[in-house]
Amino acid sequence: MKGVLAVVVAALAIGISGAAWSAEPIKVGILLPLTGSMAKFGEIEKRSFEMALEEINAKGGVRGSKIQLVFEDDTGKPDVGRSALEKLISRDKVPVVTGGYSSAVTAATAPVAQQFKVPYVICTGSADDVTEKGYNYVFRINPPASEYPNAVMSFLKSVAKVKTVAVLYENTQFGQSSSKAFEKDCADAGIKVLVKEGYQAGAIDFKPLLTKVKAANPEMIYMVSYVMDASLLMRQSKELGINPKLFVGGGAGFTLPEFAKSAGTAGENVYSATLWVETLPFPGAREYFDKFKKKFGYETEYHGAEAYAAMYVVADALKRTKSLAPNDVRDALAATNMNTAFGPVKFVSYGKKTQQNKLDTYVVQWQKGELEAVWPTNAATKKYIYPTPHWDMRK
């Protein structure tokens, strides 16, 4: 089997490397969850990729050729993601792939891209070890999960100064990686973790878990959850009258517009880690946000900005590459040094990580139904509300 695979890989390399510049569209593979439980994230990212594509092609595309996106639905499942990536490489013969939402899928697909030697520009999947394997065909634009809480920890040290916390997380690679990193940060900051519990995604009753949290009476509750679980956790926290000084989400579902709609009044004053807000002084950040809202009728957030930026990063590499051979595209990506609406992108090595973009993180808070940047102060659009008012004291 290994011998057969080697022949296939070699044949693909020869086939793609032979591609010459022409007026034909340049195919770019996009791997996203377009159906399934993560489809809302897939939707916002797909629309952002398409927005960027329209802008790039309207300006002439790449070397006289338009870019054509080839989407594959990974459904949020690793095995489906592997098959989808193999299809993009073997059937569609794309010279580069981007996308990659869930950590589980990106962890499963990164070795496939490496094995076939086709560059893979991950825009969202954040499990730390994805860029810790020494893969030279795998790049990541967004920070790894362990760095998501950086701004939250700064806020805790400077403002909240809590001494106890409960950590709740979805039992996924992202949830486990992010919660583990946050637990270590808490230990370093002298914050005692009273409860740390994982749960299965899609649960319909968090009350037994939340009753345990209420009994522990932590000053803070930190949750790593996708959107429906995030909303339900907050609604049931309100029903049980759990009143910590602050509720904080670890990114993911807590920043989506659907969170505010589904959580309702229970989502008010909730904080979240985030990787981007439209008010940051990045070129095109505000324009992207306003254009997305006008076009689709709702607000985008950091997941969309990651995808939007990824499309520009890929296009930039395609403009600089010697040829469409994947190894040449890989070399062009490795030399990336540009500013995007999501922030600066330069793939560097630090610690165990290789070809990882390094960025700051931020803290946002839902205030009157709007997601406001509150930390650090130089990026804030509104002052933080702290401590969180008790449920029975709210209007």
Q: How far apart are CA 157 and CA 188, in angstroms?
A: 11
Segments forming the whole domain that contains residue 20: 2-143+281-357
Give the number of C-alpha atoms closer than 13 A to the C-alpha of residue 308, restricted to the C-beta side: 29
Residues 138, 166, single domain; the answer is no
**CA separation (Å) from 167 to 179, 195, 211, 385?**
7, 6, 14, 21
Average pLDDT, the chain: 93
Query: Could you give the C-alpha distances from 69 to 18, 94, 186, 329, in angstroms and in order?
Result: 20, 9, 42, 16
Pairing of strands 362-367, 271-274: antiparallel
Structural domains of the chain, count: 2
**CA neighbor of 277 nearest in space, from 357, 369, 374:** 374
21 pLDDT tier (thresholds 50, 70, 90): low
| b/e per residue 95-133 (b: at least 16 CB within 10 A) | bbbbbbbbbbbbbbbbbbbbebbbbbbbbbbbbbebbee
The closest of 120, 213, 110 to 169, measured between CA atoms, is 213
115 and 247 together in one domain: no
Q: Where are the beta strands (DSSP E) in 55-128?
A: 67-73, 97-99, 120-122
Q: Are residues 74 and 40 in the same domain?
A: yes
Amino acid at 118: V
Q: Answer yes or no: do 182 and 328 share one domain.
A: no
The answer on pLDDT for 9 being more than 80 is: no
Q: What is the pTM of this model?
A: 0.88
Q: Taking Cα atoms as reference points, which of 341, 309, 336, 337 lies closest to residue 119?
A: 336
- Give the pLDDT score at 266: 97
Same domain? For 13 and 160 the reply is no
Same domain as 389, residue 264: yes
CA-based Rg of the chain, rounded to a whole angstrom? 21
- Which tens digit of pLDDT belongs to each residue from 34-84? 999 899 999 999 999 999 999 999 999 999 899 999 999 999 999 999 999
Query: In the structure, what pLDDT confidence band is assigned to residue 316 with cuts at 50, 70 and 90?
Result: very high
Average pLDDT over residues 103-131: 96
Nearest by Cα to 176 from 225, 220, 143, 231:
225
Beta carbons within 8 Å of 196's beta carbon, 6+ residues apart: 166, 167, 169, 179, 183
CA distance 368 to 260: 10
Q: Tell whether the model's pLDDT for residue 99 goes beyond 80.
A: yes
Q: Which amino acid is at 344?
A: P
| pLDDT score at 308 | 98
Segment (H or E) for 387: none
Under DSSP, is residue 92 helix (H, G, I), strand (E, B) or coil?
A: coil
Give the number of other Cβ atoms within 10 Å of residue 174's Cβ: 27
pLDDT at 306: 98
The β-bridge partners of 223 are: 168, 249
Sole residue written with tokens 């490489």: 89
CATH of residue 12's domain is: 3.40.50.2300
Q: Are the CB atoms for 72 and 31 separated by under 8 Å?
A: yes
The predicted pLDDT at position 193 comes to 98
How much is the pLDDT for 203?
81
Looking at the structure, tell me whether residues 344 and 366 fall in a common domain: no
Regarding whether 124 and 62 lie in a shared domain, the answer is yes
Per the DSSP assignment, residues forming a β-bridge with 68 are 27
Please report the pLDDT score of residue 252 as a whole number.
78
Return the bridge partners of 270, or none. none
Tokens 């377009």 belong to residue: 34
**Same domain, residue pair 222 and 371:** yes
Do 331 and 389 belong together in one domain? no
Tens-digit pLDDT profile for residues 328-344: 999 999 999 999 999 99
**Are the CB atoms for 82 and 31 separated by under 8 Å?**
no
pLDDT > 50? residue 6: no
The pLDDT-based confidence of 319 (bands split at 50, 70, 90) is very high
SS3 at position 113: helix
Contact by Cβ (8 Å): 82, 108: yes
* Contact indicator for 366, 352 with CB cutoff of 8 Å: no
Residues 112 and 192 in one domain: no
**CA pair distance 115, 281, nearest whole angstrom:** 38
pLDDT of 125-162, one tens digit each? Answer: 998 999 999 999 999 999 998 899 999 999 999 999 99
Q: 166-219, pLDDT tens digit by residue?
A: 999 999 888 888 899 899 999 999 999 999 999 988 788 999 999 999 999 999
**Predicted pLDDT at 395:** 67
Residue 154 near residue 375 (C-beta atoms within 8 A): yes
Q: Which residue has the higher pLDDT, 3 or 60?
A: 60
> For helices 302-320 and 39-58, what crossing angle results, to 10°?
40
Same domain assignment for residues 13 and 108: yes
Residue of higher predicted confidence among 377 and 8:
377
What is the separation, in whole angstroms, between the first and last Cα of the chain? 66
pLDDT at 226: 85
Distance CA 164, CA 218 (A): 5
Model confidence over 217-266: pLDDT tens digits?
999 999 999 889 999 999 999 999 999 999 999 987 899 889 999 999 99
Q: Residue 307 above 60 pLDDT?
A: yes
CA distance 364 to 77: 29
Question: How confident is the model at residue 174, as a pLDDT?
Answer: 83
The Cα 234–Cα 288 span in angstroms is 30
Closest C-alpha to 183, from 205, 168, 173, 204: 168
Per-residue pLDDT for 13 more than 60? no
Q: When comparing pLDDT for 82 and 19, which is higher?
A: 82
